[in-house]
Amino acid sequence: MGASTTTLRSRYWNKEAQLAYLLMLPAVVLLVSLMVYPIAYVFMMSLYRTDRLGRLQEFAGMAAYLEVFSTRVFWETTVRTAVWTVLAVVVKAVLGMIIALVLNVEYTGRRTARMLFIIPWASSVPISAMLWKWVYDHEFGLLNQTLRATGIWTNPPVWLGAPTSAFISTIWVDIWVGVPFMALIFLAGMQAISRDLYESGEIDGANATQKFVNITIPGIRHLILIATMLSSLWTFNDFNTVFILTKGGPGTSTEILITAVYKHGFEWLRFSRAAVMAVVTFVILTMLSLFYARMFFRQERDL
């Protein structure tokens, strides 16, 4: 017993370990005081009644949870968030794949094309969302003008003005931001696949589609997984696009959990309810993150 304690101590509380903890201390202090503590505080807020400044009043147990869970809007928002995330990520992956394939063909100007495709990802999301708000403008926006002038759509919708078109317009901006990341990751994967594989595929008489399905896709399978996972988390968290374009409206047609949390807190000053939704969001994100981390480390082992 005594001997094993000493070995344990010498293994884990030696000079090297002490230095490690010391070097990590500043990061840990910041993370604990400005991330862990605030999250704990949000849990507290969800269990207390709060005043309009978010100060804790009296303990209320699960009252705020019951209030939130009994509203229809909360469940609609949750389902919409799931639809929003899945739909956006699927379209991002498909469009990203098309762009990656296009960029994988050799032609002059390919490097320029690659540089240009990155711009939506490289630019600032809040600023892009503001630009899109102007693009979508019903009367004076250049999108509708172009659609009318070219005859593609002579009577285009008031994009951000009606529930369905607002949802489509908003999710498109989120997709538009996320596509270049997918494309670049896929392209990097494609370029790492050995040429020999394609050549032997050709000798076996495989056509372009067969080569894509049997060589390209398996070759970048792990990258597709990682990119999809990362993109899901970003999409789920995309506050800027929704808040700037529609603030969740008209009605609640573009509301997702993350914007609902913010609006309950800072627009309607219902901090307990905001905290309940933040806790729900936290639980969902934690599950997704742990899933991602596990998948990531499993892959590391496989490689």
Partner 1 sequence: MSNWRTRNRPLVIGLTLLLLGLMLFPFFVMVSTMLKSSQEIYVVPATWIPRNLTFANFSRVWIEYHLLLYFRSSLIVALGTMVLNILVSVPAAYAVARLRFLGRKAVMYLLLAIQMFSPVIVVISLFRIFARAQLIDTYTGLILANTVFTISFATWMMTGYFSAIPSEIEEAARIDGCSRVGTLLRVMLPIAAPGLVTVMIYNFITAWNEFLFALTFINARAKMPLTLGIYQFVGRWSTQWELLTTSAFLALIPVLVLFYLIEKQLVAGLASGAVKG
212 binding partner 1? (CB under 8 A): no
**Type of residue found at 200:** S
State how far the Cα of 147 lies from the Cα of 159, in Å rounded to an integer: 12
State how far the Cα of 303 lies from the Cα of 124, in Å rounded to an integer: 34
State how far the Cα of 28 lies from the Cα of 261, in Å rounded to an integer: 27
Which one of the spans 70-78, 152-160, 163-171, 281-289 is the region binding partner 1 (CB under 8 A)? 281-289
Nearest to 83 by CA among 262, 275, 254: 254
128 binding partner 1? (CB under 8 A): yes
From the CB of 290, what's the least distance to partner 1, in Å?
6
From the CB of 5, what's the least distance to partner 1, in Å?
14
Exposed/middle/buried for 235, CB within 10 Å: 0-12, 13-18, 19+?
Answer: buried
86 binding partner 1? (CB under 8 A): no
Among 59, 69, 297, 298, binds partner 1 (CB under 8 A): 297
Among 79, 116, 213, 217, binds partner 1 (CB under 8 A): 116
From the CB of 16, what's the least distance to partner 1, in Å?
5
Question: Which residue has 């996320």 as its token pair?
Answer: 178
302 binding partner 1? (CB under 8 A): no
7 binding partner 1? (CB under 8 A): no
158-177: contacts with partner 1 (CB under 8 A): 176
Distances (CA, A) of 188 to 53, 103, 184, 185, 234: 49, 10, 6, 5, 20
Q: In whole angstroms, how large is the CA radius of gyration of the chain?
A: 25
Alpha-helix residue ranges (DSSP H) falling in the chain:
2-12, 15-31, 37-47, 63-69, 72-103, 110-122, 125-135, 142-150, 163-192, 195-203, 208-211, 217-219, 221-236, 239-245, 257-262, 271-302
244 binding partner 1? (CB under 8 A): yes
From the CB of 236, what's the least distance to partner 1, in Å?
8
From the CB of 3, what's the least distance to partner 1, in Å?
18
From the CB of 170, what's the least distance to partner 1, in Å?
14
184 binding partner 1? (CB under 8 A): yes
Structure tokens at 212: 């894509």
221 binding partner 1? (CB under 8 A): no
From the CB of 282, what's the least distance to partner 1, in Å?
5
152 binding partner 1? (CB under 8 A): no
8 A C-beta contact, residue 132 and residue 215: no
14-73: contacts with partner 1 (CB under 8 A): 16-17, 19-21, 23-24, 26-28, 30-31, 34-35, 37-39, 41-42, 45, 53-55
State how far the Cα of 190 lies from the Cα of 202, in Å rounded to an integer: 17
Which one of the spans 13-21, 67-75, 80-88, 154-162 is the region binding partner 1 (CB under 8 A)? 13-21
From the CB of 10, what's the least distance to partner 1, in Å?
12
Which one of the spans 63-71, 109-117, 150-158, 160-168 is the region binding partner 1 (CB under 8 A)? 109-117
- In the 8-state DSSP scheme, what is residue 140? T
The count of residues interacting with partner 1 (CB under 8 A) is 108
